[in-house]
Amino acid sequence: MDIEIIDDFIDKQSFDIIKNTMVTADFPWFYTPEKTTGYTFDDNFQFIHYFYLNNSVNSNYMQMISPVVNKLNPLSLVKIKANLTIKTKEIIDYGYHTDYTTDSKLYTAVYYINNNNGHTKFKNGPTVESKENRMVIFDSQLLHSGTSCTDERLRLLINFNFYKNPSK
């Protein structure tokens, strides 16, 4: 199992622009009634923002995250989606899932926007704490689960699905 964890993924100035933009009242978040498909419980919802979807840019904010995309240096993008989960009274585990099961060459990268006590855990691997400007990169077929947080108002991250550049 190859899971890469990189702290301070991009420079502080670029990171601060992303974080400060995503927490404003003007940033467009969209409600989705199911955070993890196949799990039914009251708190299984989130707010999302698609930066990239269906082979095209889907957001006026795509340029803002270009330092992250450039550092990932993907061969090609499949999807980029920001997730906003609200604070809960207890940590909620949203259930194991894979991002994609059909292509063994696809990767997922989770980029954490804020510090909080939520985490991403892997079924047969480590638990990765939510730390701002941290990136975790792994095979999209790995079973993993995200959680809520209890110590901050929001848990923010950006999820990248992409094909790795063989030259990297």
When pLDDT is averaged across residues 111-124 and rounded to a whole number, the result is 97
* Predicted local distance difference test score (pLDDT) of residue 112: 98
16 — pLDDT class (breaks 50, 70, 90): very high
CB atoms within 10 A of CB 25: 5
105 — pLDDT class (breaks 50, 70, 90): confident
- In what side-by-side order are the strands of the sheet with 144-146? 127-129, 119-122, 144-146
135 — pLDDT class (breaks 50, 70, 90): very high
40 — pLDDT class (breaks 50, 70, 90): low
Does 39 have pLDDT greater than 60? no
* Predicted local distance difference test score (pLDDT) of residue 101: 67
99 — pLDDT class (breaks 50, 70, 90): confident
Does 139 have pLDDT greater than 80? yes
Complete domains list, the chain, with CATH: 3-23+30-164 (2.60.120.620)
- On whether the CB atoms of residues 94 and 44 are closer than 8 A, the answer is yes
When pLDDT is averaged across residues 118-124 and rounded to a whole number, the result is 95
Of these ranges, 22-26, 139-143, 164-168, the one predicted with the greatest mean pLDDT is 22-26
* Predicted local distance difference test score (pLDDT) of residue 36: 61
pTM of the model: 0.93
**Residue 113, both tokens:** 């926007």
